Every structure is written in C-alpha cells, then in structure tokens.
Amino acid sequence: NAPELVRHCIESIKRNAGFHPVNIVSKENYLQFTDIPKYVIAKLQAGKITLTHFSDILRMNLIANNGGFWLDATIYCSQQMKEAVFEYPVYTGRNPGKDFMNISNWNWTGFAIAGWKGNSLFVAANAIFNAYWNENDELIDYYLVDYVLRLVYENVTEVKDLISQIELNNTGQMLLRQKFNMPYSAESYNDIVFGTTWLHKLSWKEKWSEKTPEGEKTMYAHWKETVEEQV
C-alpha cells in the first residue's frame, strides 16, 4: 500500500544491495528487531510521540542492537551499494563545509546511516532517547535526532574520529529531487544518477509532474520510466 515512489525506491535498494539482506521494517515487525522501552511505545500509542520522530528512535535502536544500514523508504539507490558502508564502524552520507548551516553541518545524514552493532554512536543516541522520553511527554524540537547525534559527536572523541574518517560521499544526494520538475536532459540526468552520488533523497509528499508547463518531458518522467523498466 506504499506510494508509488516509495515502492520504486525500495525496489532500487533491493536491486543494488548485493548479498546483503534487505529488511523492510514496519509497525507489524519492528518489535522483532528492537528493545525499545514499553514507556516509549506507550507514548507513541498515546500520540505524544509522532511516527516521524519514532522512526528516529527506531533507527538508533535498530543499529545499536543489530548493526546494519538504515535507509529511509524514500532513498533511491541508483548504483550498486559500496562495500565501504559495511566496513566502517560508522558510515553515513557526508559533505561538511557546505555554504548553508544545518545541525549536522552535513557531517552525517540521518536518512542514510550505518554502523556496527554496539557502536558508541548508536548506543549513546539510543540511551539519550530513552532518557529523554522517560522524563518528557512532548518533543522539544523536530530535529531532535540531529541534536542528539551532534551531542554525541561533540562529546565522544571516538565517535568524532570515526565520523571524521568517512570520506566525502553522496554529495549530490538532493540534486535529483531538485531537478524532478525540470525538462529532461540526458547529460544532466546521467551526471546525477551515474556519477559519484548513488543515494538520492526523494519525497513522495511533493507533487512531481511528467510534463513541464511547456509540454516537455521532465526529469521525473524519465526517472519513472527507467525504474519501471527495471522492475
């Protein structure tokens, strides 16, 4: 029942995961992989924790307990996954020093983040979330996950060192989404999809058109044709 764009993204991950198993984590099965405290789940069910924020709690808990690579369901994987993802104790999209500020300064991307089971970053973030929701009944900030990761990054030397060692990667992760409603250009499309970026953050909530107001084929239309041919 997922939106079409989400289904295409999930299929792209399965196609490019190599021998790595792909688990689709849902409300029906997440308890199989996690040990999230009952008081957190109770607050989710009571509406005090949103599903969006619960997914932040979930990904930290999942990786702390199992290891692996968390990808949002709106990540389009355009090339074979790099094995470096699984060789680093922590791996994430990284492009620090951009000309605009965010909480992470693009040292990490919460929508694509990986690590080994028991790694300090995920264990600490999981513990902070548990402590926060043990004491609070509402979310202090939408981007709490990034504040938590930054708190750990700035105060745990081991974590800062691990993240700093990750080579710059997926620096154009927003470009495909930004160009979806623009006229299709084979050169531009190929540069984005088959260049150095292989993880692309998309959105199923925005309106994508298959034709421009002038009637030209859009980048989105070409992307859709391509992924449907690969199914």
Location of structure tokens 């084979």: 186
Average pLDDT, the chain: 95
Rounded average pLDDT over 187-204? 97
pLDDT at 100: 62
Rounded average pLDDT over 166-178? 95
Q: Tell if the pTM clears 0.85, that is, is over it.
A: yes
**Is the per-residue pLDDT at 203 higher than 80?**
yes
pLDDT at 1: 85
Q: Kind of pairing, strands 90-92 and 199-201?
A: unpaired
**Is the per-residue pLDDT at 230 higher than 80?**
yes
74-92 pLDDT, tens digit per residue, is 999 999 999 989 999 999 9
pLDDT at 97: 73
